[in-house]
Amino acid sequence: MLDIALHLRVDVDPLRAAQNDMGVCDAIERIAPGGEPADMSAPHVPKVAGIDPLVPPPAQTSAPAGAVIQDRLAGWVSDLTTLHELTERLVGTGTLDEALHEVVRAGAALVGARRGFAALEPADGLGPASTVGLGLAHADLGHLETVPRGSTAYGRILDGAAGSAPGTDTDGASPDLLHEEGLDPLHREVAARLGYAASYALPLAGPSGRLGAVVWLYDEPAEPGARRRHLASLYLRYATEHLARLLELERARARVATLTEGLLPRRLPRVPGVRMAVRHRTGPLGGGDWYDALPLPEGALGLVVGSVTGSGPGATAAMGRLRASLRAYAVMEGEDPVAVLSDLELLMRLTEPARSATALMAYCEPARRKIVFAGAGHSPPLIVGERRTEYAETTLSAPLGMLSCWEAPSVEITPHPGETVLLYTDGLLHRTGDPMDRAFARLHAAAAGVPAVLRDDPGALADHVLRTVLPGGLDEAEAAQDIVLLAARFN
């Protein structure tokens, strides 16, 4: 960050040595006297008519050196303050898209442009690649992408990323595009269509290589001055470091999400008499929430949601082991969910002694519209229908791994034709930010308020519930909890 002192002490000699790039020493050289004053060695001239010739008459002289130094120093402090404020705003961004938008906006203020865009294209080829614009619609960005890269300054920056020295500040200025000789005809056409006559591009380059480029567009022929270029270069030097950190975080999140999705069902099975949909999101650190839906003998269906304590790769791996074990137990004795969870609890005590887990299993017979539930410390399912929206009363029980021997009675319900049963993990309730009793009430109100036209589609019903319950949306960047919402509609 840029720290600005509240009190500044100015000495001419240190200033001349330290502020060479700000132009202060040049001003001192121009203003400083060249030698001993002439009147110190001039002969004495006698008085004439009462006028003392040694008193010099007033003269129109330039400003003293101290005033010039003060003005230059004030401008320097103003520039530092501006950079400090802009970098503070940049630090507040938590995602790549937010940071790129802020970089384009701040850079436009520094170089005096009204529009621009940033192209993220890491030189290592590992992605992600994206483009964000300022004052440019999605269609405008599409037009710009049709221009051959070799005819644009930012395209040359991106194409030369692999061979350029990291940390260089080479830029691309096109002060008068429409009158530029040799300009690609398509580039000229796009510039005329979008109404820009000049552009200025800078690389997003760091020690590990180039991440992309930023371009600002001018409505009239223009080019930023040396001071504006210097400020923009300093700002992008810090911005690139921030973007590099966010890029690594984004890649880590993508790897965790890929691993988690690989441990969960790729698709839900098709079972006569029931339609299903699931919505799942993994937190940035990765977690242990899981779900399953597996066909069982005689047209039955097993539905499971669960959550392992902790977060990160360890919790994800434990989730995968428990889910695989539960599938095996469900195939052997799925008609008795209590027996399945008892076997899983024994396995946890032997193989996962440092963890606990919650789980809710449903043994469904769609032809008879019969569901048998067994829960281990998990939230109760929610039944949503035309005439009722209510939580199914399941017995209170401890999570798996908390007691030396787990067992709880099962509960049987009969959904009416057209009713949907919602199974979910506690992450959905925690993401609301409310106490648990209010979170349950919010979920109930969201399910009760589903429009009639959406009730026949379990996917549309689940989406409506999530949009209503979650204040920041399903893809909220700062949310740490996993979410699972499994909807099963019985015909």
User: Which pLDDT belongs to residue 397?
Assistant: 83
Rounded to an integer, the average pLDDT of 44-62 is 42
Statement: residue 422 has pLDDT above 80: yes
Please report whether residue 413 resides in a domain: yes
Question: What's the domain count of the chain?
Answer: 2
Final residue before a domain boundary, out of 200, 221, 254 = 254
- Please, where are the H alpha helices in 60-95? 65-91
Q: Which range marks the domain in which residue 431 is found?
A: 264-490
Q: For the segment 256-297, what is each residue's pLDDT rounded down to a tens digit?
A: 878 888 888 889 999 999 999 999 988 777 778 999 999 999
User: Which pLDDT belongs to residue 28?
Assistant: 31
Please report whether residue 58 resides in a domain: no
Q: For the segment 180-209, what is each residue's pLDDT rounded down to a tens digit?
A: 888 899 999 999 999 999 999 999 988 878
Please report whether residue 60 resides in a domain: no
Assign residue 304 the CATH number of its domain.
Answer: 3.60.40.10
- CA dist 475 → 279, 280, 284, 350, 479 (Å): 11, 10, 10, 36, 8
Please report whether residue 230 resides in a domain: yes
Angle CA(62)–CA(65)–CA(66) in degrees, nearest 5? 125
Hey, what are 367's tokens?
């032809």
Q: Please tell me whether residues 423 and 475 are part of one structural domain.
A: yes
Q: Which residues pair with 421 in a beta bridge?
A: 383, 488
Please report whether residue 442 resides in a domain: yes
Please report whether residue 403 resides in a domain: yes
Please check whether residue 201 is in contact with residue 178, taking contact to mean a CB–CB distance below 8 angstroms. no
User: Which pLDDT belongs to residue 62?
Assistant: 55
Q: For the segment 305-344, what is each residue's pLDDT rounded down to a tens digit?
A: 999 988 888 888 889 999 999 999 999 988 999 999 999 9
User: Which pLDDT belongs to residue 181?
Assistant: 85
Please report whether residue 87 resides in a domain: yes
User: Which pLDDT belongs to residue 228?
Assistant: 92
User: Which pLDDT belongs to residue 77?
Assistant: 83
What does the alpha-carbon distance between residue 119 and residue 130 come to, in Å, rounded to a whole number? 6
Final residue before a domain boundary, out of 209, 224, 254 = 254
Q: Please tell me whether residues 110 and 241 are part of one structural domain.
A: yes
List, as own/partner pairs, every contact residues 57-65 make where C-beta atoms lie below 8 angstroms and the sequence separation is at least 24, other chains included. 62/31, 63/31, 64/31, 65/12, 65/27, 65/28, 65/31, 65/32
Final residue before a domain boundary, out of 222, 254, 286 = 254
Task: Tell me if the pTM is above 0.75.
Answer: no
Enumerate residues 6+ apart whose C-beta is below 8 A from 318: 288, 308, 310, 352, 355, 357
Q: For the segment 55-85, what is each residue's pLDDT rounded down to a tens digit?
A: 444 455 555 777 878 777 877 888 889 899 9
Q: Please tell me whether residues 160 and 95 are part of one structural domain.
A: yes
Q: Please tell me whether residues 248 and 378 are part of one structural domain.
A: no
- Provide the mean pLDDT of the chain: 82
Q: Please tell me whether residues 297 and 249 are part of one structural domain.
A: no
Q: Please tell me whether residues 87 and 179 are part of one structural domain.
A: yes
Statement: residue 5 has pLDDT above 90: no
Phi-psi sector, 154: left (phi>0), alpha (psi -120 to 50), beta? alpha
Strands 411-413 and 420-424: unpaired
User: Tokens 């000789």 correspond to what residue?
Assistant: 181
Q: For the segment 111-169, what is each residue's pLDDT rounded down to a tens digit?
A: 999 999 999 999 888 889 999 999 999 999 999 999 998 888 888 888 874 333 333 34
Statement: residue 23 has pLDDT above 90: no
- CA dist 350 → 173, 338, 345, 469 (Å): 67, 19, 9, 38
Q: Distance of alpha carbon 391 from its chain centroid, rounded? A: 36
Q: Please tell me whether residues 235 and 382 are part of one structural domain.
A: no
Rounded to an integer, the average pLDDT of 91-119 is 94
Assign residue 188 the CATH number of its domain.
Answer: 3.30.450.40
Please report whether residue 474 resides in a domain: yes
Statement: residue 92 has pLDDT above 60: yes
Q: Please tell me whether residues 331 and 424 are part of one structural domain.
A: yes
